[in-house]
Every structure is written in structure tokens, then in C-alpha cells.
A = this chain, B = another copy of it.
Amino acid sequence: MADLPGTLTDRTAFLLQLALGRAQAMGEEVLVEHGISGREYGLLAVVAHLAPCSQITAARTLGIDRTTTVALVGALEQRGLLDRAPDPANRRANLLSPTPEGERVRAGAADALAVCDDRFLAPLDAPDRETLRTLLRRLVDPHTG
């Protein structure tokens, strides 16, 4: 681990940062072949789960700003992966749904990312992997974790 001081390697946040850096690099590399970025995968996954949903619902679910969402949705719509239509029941809102092609891309990316996760977790055996995920879920969501 290079020659890092204990004042850094003892910090959980620092370890999380190192781990996330690796996991994200592996993920982005794999997603290139599917023509989307990690953030775009996140949006596709949320929309597939909640469709049809407004941009602001998708944004809040992902924890990103609604202004950032405009360009993100636009890029996916332009490539025919996402449908963006005015909501008849609330004409301020745009309803998002995946196109068939978008759903195909999302499913393919999900499979690739699962393989990626396995590779990232390679240093741990199956029970340890589950322990790690459980501990992280309890940290992130103390209630249901």
C-alpha cells in the first residue's frame, strides 16, 4: 500500500476511497464496450426500476442535482436509449422510460458489471464478500441494513 502513514490507512474514509477508485476504474473500463458511462448506467438502472418516472424523481433517487440530470437524460435520449415524454397528468414534468434498445444495453451492462464486481472482490472468498456488502449496507442504511 505504497508508504502511506497510519494516520491515513487507519481512516475508514481513506480505505473506502482507495477501494472505490479501483472498483470505479474497473467498471468504467468495462462499460466502454457497452457505450455508456457509470453515471449513465445508474440513470438507466433507476429508470428501468421506476419507469415511468419524472426527471426529478430519478435525480433524487440517484442523489444528483436536477440541473445535472438535464444533460444526462439528453445524452441517453439522443442515443435512443431513453424515452422522454411530457406527463399528461403534470405538464411541468417529463416522464422517462427506457426504450427497448435502452433496456437491452442496461441488461448487458448489468451482466458485465456483475462479472466486474466478482473480479474486484477476487481477494475475498464468498462469505467475506457477503460480510463486506452487509457491513456497507448497514453503514449506508442503518435502518434496514
A residues within 8 Å of B by Cβ? 1-5, 7-24, 27, 38, 42, 45-46, 48-50, 60-61, 63, 106, 110, 113-114, 117, 120-124, 128-129, 131-133, 135-142, 144-145
Q: How far is the CA of A13 from the CA of B140 in the complex (A)?
A: 13
- Separation in Å of the A120 CB from the closest CB of chain B? 6
Q: Is the CB of A18 within 8 A of B140?
A: yes
> A63 — which chain B residues lie within 8 A by C-beta?
2, 21
- Separation in Å of the A99 CB from the closest CB of chain B? 17
- Separation in Å of the A23 CB from the closest CB of chain B? 4
Q: Is the CB of B1 within 8 A of A13?
A: no
> A135 — which chain B residues lie within 8 A by C-beta?
124, 128, 131-132, 135
Q: Which 7 pairs of residues, A with B, have the shortest CB-CB distance? A: A5-B49, A13-B23, A15-B136, A123-B142, A1-B141, A16-B20, A18-B140
Q: Which of B19, B22, B110, B145 sits near A123, CB closer than 8 Å?
A: B145
